[in-house]
Amino acid sequence: MAYVIEAEGLVKEYRMGLLPWRARIVRALDGVDLRVARGTLFSLLGPNGAGKTTLVKILSTLLIPDRGWARVSGFDVVEEAGEVRRRIGVVLGGERALYWRLSGWDNLWFFSQLYGIPPREARRRVRELLELVGLEEWAHVRVENYSKGMKQRLHIARGLINDPEVLLLDEPTIGLDPKAAREVRGIVRRIVREGRTVLLTTHYMVEAEELSDRVAIINGGRIVAEGAPEDLKSLVSGGSIVELRVAGGVGVREAVERLGGRVISVGEVDGARVFKVLVPEPDFFIEALLSELPRLDARIRGLDVRSPSLEDVFIKLTGGGRE
């Protein structure tokens, strides 16, 4: 299999604190190995601070790793950074990567000239990209008048202006409303259908599950699991997920575990505790639980049964099960 992104043993540390004698070392990446096949969409799924953005910045030559190596399209990100930059497009977070007082067309034209694209080809490319992201009618409107979703679509067009082999997308739907996020996901699908390789970082489980050929879950600077979404779900195998919402009661978790359930996570919503429980036989478990809860003075607010999801795997592997 041809890999367009490869990394091995990547380590990146930051010194936190202004005073040397009080500074502490934070390890953002702790020995990351990565292989991304050509023409696929690979998602890095992890909580805030897991190391996703640091990894993207190393792959895009914006940061130098302290140890390990990485290659994009066969070129080393440190020793051959110029070759890497010619072959990648990068979309990082933040609206200020665009010039707000310029139109969408003028923004793309400006970046095309930074890449040295000949004028005739640049005009064709700008037209095609504005059509791809659905901004043809807004081409000559200042970006300051765009909605947040429109700005993000223009960001993606900017990342494609140099016709890259690899597109690095760092949380492209963060902060967007559901409609705008759906539009961005549709654009990402079309980009992959064109044959490009996309590395996407996100902490939205539905997004990773919907878009990805493969997913790596990263936590604390380490990749803790990797595989196709359906394969990862097998890490939470052996039954169904019962989502139990209860108010009041003492010893509910202990009762759940005594009845054969494995608690994946515990949260709180609208004053009720929410238990996500993996059970081998949901019918038997629910019948026994309904008999047990009144003895604990616990009132049921809701009860759902479903198959395990990527979110359940994520919670299990990133420590979300702790109370």
Question: Within a domain: residue 262?
Answer: yes
Last residue of a domain, one of 232, 249, 280: 232
Same domain, 129 and 169: yes
Residue 175 has a CB neighbour count (10 Å cut-off) of 12
For 118, phi and psi rounded to 5 degrees? Answer: -55, 145
**pLDDT > 90 in the chain, percent:** 61
Question: Within a domain: residue 323?
Answer: no
Helices 119-132 and 104-114: crossing angle in degrees, nearest 10, is 130
Model confidence band, residue 228 (pLDDT cutoffs 50, 70, 90) = very high
Most confident listed range (19-23, 91-95, 141-145, 260-264): 141-145
Q: What is the pLDDT of residues 175-189, one digit of tens each?
A: 889 999 999 999 999
Tell me what the mean pLDDT of segment 241-260 comes to. Answer: 90
CATH number at residue 168: 3.40.50.300
87 DSSP 8-state letter:
H
The per-residue pLDDT for 94 is: 66
Model confidence band, residue 237 (pLDDT cutoffs 50, 70, 90) = low
pLDDT at 251 exceeding the cut of 70: yes
Nearest to 57 by CA among 14, 24, 95: 14
The per-residue pLDDT for 204 is: 86
When divided into structural domains, the chain yields a total of 2
How far apart are the C-alpha atoms of 322 and 98, rounded to whole Å?
41
Q: What is the pLDDT of residues 62-94, one digit of tens each?
A: 999 999 999 999 999 999 999 999 999 999 876
**Which range marks the domain in which residue 39 is found?**
3-232
Residues 55-81 as b/e (b if ≥16 CB within 10 A, e otherwise) read bbbbbbbebebeebebbbbebebeeeb
Question: Within a domain: residue 312?
Answer: no
Same domain, 117 and 242: no
Half-sphere exposure of 88 (CA within 13 A, CB side): 29
Question: Within a domain: residue 317?
Answer: no
Question: Within a domain: residue 320?
Answer: no
Nearest to 265 by CA among 281, 282, 278, 254: 278
Q: Give Cα separations from 275 to 252, 254, 263 (angstroms).
A: 9, 12, 7
Nearest to 155 by CA among 245, 94, 113, 198: 94
**Averaged pLDDT of the chain:** 90
AA identity, residue 170: D
Q: What is the pLDDT of residues 116-165, one digit of tens each?
A: 999 999 999 999 999 999 999 999 999 999 999 999 999 999 999 999 99
Same domain, 244 and 277: yes
Same domain, 78 and 140: yes
Same domain, 246 and 197: no
Q: What is residue 151's three-state secondary structure?
A: helix
Question: Within a domain: residue 225?
Answer: yes
Tell me what the mean pLDDT of segment 40-54 comes to. Answer: 92
Same domain, 217 and 244: no
Question: Within a domain: residue 318?
Answer: no
